[in-house]
Structure 1
Amino acid sequence: MTDTAEAKTVAADTDIKSSQMQTTSALSADETERLGTEIVAALKTVYDPEIPADIYELGLIYKVDLKDDRSVEVEMTLTTPNCPAAEELPMTVENAVASVPGVGVVTVNIVWEPTWTPDRMTDEARLVLNMW
């Protein structure tokens, strides 16, 4: 499998993206696909405590980087900087991703750009929240 020199990026739609600079990955294509699928499934188990939808479908996960050493970096946001779950949600995300067999160290970073808006939600989240 070819990949970027720095990291594999598992996008919110689980596509693996790479830059123009290609190298051989330490992870097989099957293992990368399995980890990507299982990481997304783990993210879908984490719910915002005030909203009855998971953080993945809400569009709070901006990026997941799966690196050759199996470490994972997650960039996520919150619905608002004053979110009451601001302290616990990143730790919950870290624990969920770390529970995936084969995943190494997990780092979760909160980002504020781009600002989250309801436009980032999937149709599934809109349906759960009666936003049709």
Structure 2
Amino acid sequence: MVTKEEVMEKVKAVVDEKYVKGLEIGEDNSITITLAKNTPNIDDVLIRLNAELQKIEGIGTITINREREKTVDEGAEVTKEIVLEKLKEVIDPEIGVDVVNLGLIYELDIRPDKTVYVKMTMTTPGCPLTMWILRAVEDKILEIPGVKDAEIELTFDPPWTPDRISEEYKKRLGIF
């Protein structure tokens, strides 16, 4: 069983403890950490924190959230189509294609409380931009009026393949 002390030791190696606003460990050894919205060098912290936490033996899913102050426009409509269009603004910088047309989005659900759940993957498990892309997806979803929160799950099952790229982008990239 993963302990809070073990996790906090790894966390403190990356970020000052004062920026840690929450830490939960699930029965399946999944970790959820909430960082302060004003955490300095957040992109670097996300990447390094994820790498440090993965060193813990028996670790489950790692979720790193940031505090938010968002007022939800209760009357605004939130649809899958609106969310997917917004996610087309998140471009994989190494490939130059957005996460939707690249086929990285496996599942999208809008919950009754207007939390948007996304299950997605990366082109490879060792993608150095994983945390940056996950954060960009979360940020874009939270820009949509009416969205209360975003929950992003990273999976590698099934593994991504170029077959998942949209037909339009297969043509643009010369993949037939």
How high is the TM-score relative to the length of structure 1? Answer: 0.72
Distance 1:75 1:119 in 2: 18
Letter in structure 2 aligned against 1:70: K
Map of 1:100 onto structure 2: 144
Q: Percent identity?
A: 38
Larger relative contact order (Cα-Cα within 8 Å, sequence gap ≥ 6): 1
1:117: which partner in 2? 161
TM alignment of 1:26-45, pairs within 5 A: 31=77, 35-45=79-89
Higher helix proportion (structure 1 or 2): 2
The answer to whether the 8 Å contact 2:90/2:99 transfers is yes
CA contact (8 A) 2:83 2:141 kept: yes
Separation (CA, whole Å) in 1 of partners of 2:80 and 2:126:
30
1:8-27 deviations in Å (ceiling 9; x for gaps): xxxxxxxxxxxxxxxxxxx9
Runs of 4+ deviating beyond 6 Å: none
- Verify the 8 A CA contact 1:35 1:100 in the aligned structure 2: no
Report how far residue 128 of structure 1 moved.
Answer: 2.4
Q: TM-score scaled to structure 2, two decimals?
A: 0.55
Cα deviation, 1:48-72, whole Å, max 9, x if unaligned, reads 1101211100100001110010001
Distance of 1:48 and 1:120 partners within structure 2: 15
Distance 1:124 1:97 in 2: 24
How far apart, in 2, do the equivalents of 1:57 and 1:125 lie? Answer: 7
* CA-based RMSD: 1.9
Q: Which residue of 1 aligns with 2:108?
A: 64
| 1:51 counterpart = 2:103 | no
Partner of 2:30 in structure 1? none
Amino acid at match of 1:55: V
- 1:130: Cα distance to partner? 1.7
3-state DSSP class of the match of 2:86?
A: helix
Partner SS, residue 79 of structure 1: coil
Greater Cα radius of gyration, structure 1 or 2: 2
Q: Which runs of 5+ in 1 are unaligned?
A: 1-26
Q: Is the 8 A contact 2:80 2:109 kept in 1?
A: no
Q: Which residue of 1 aligns with 2:121?
A: 77
SS of corresponding position for 2:171: helix
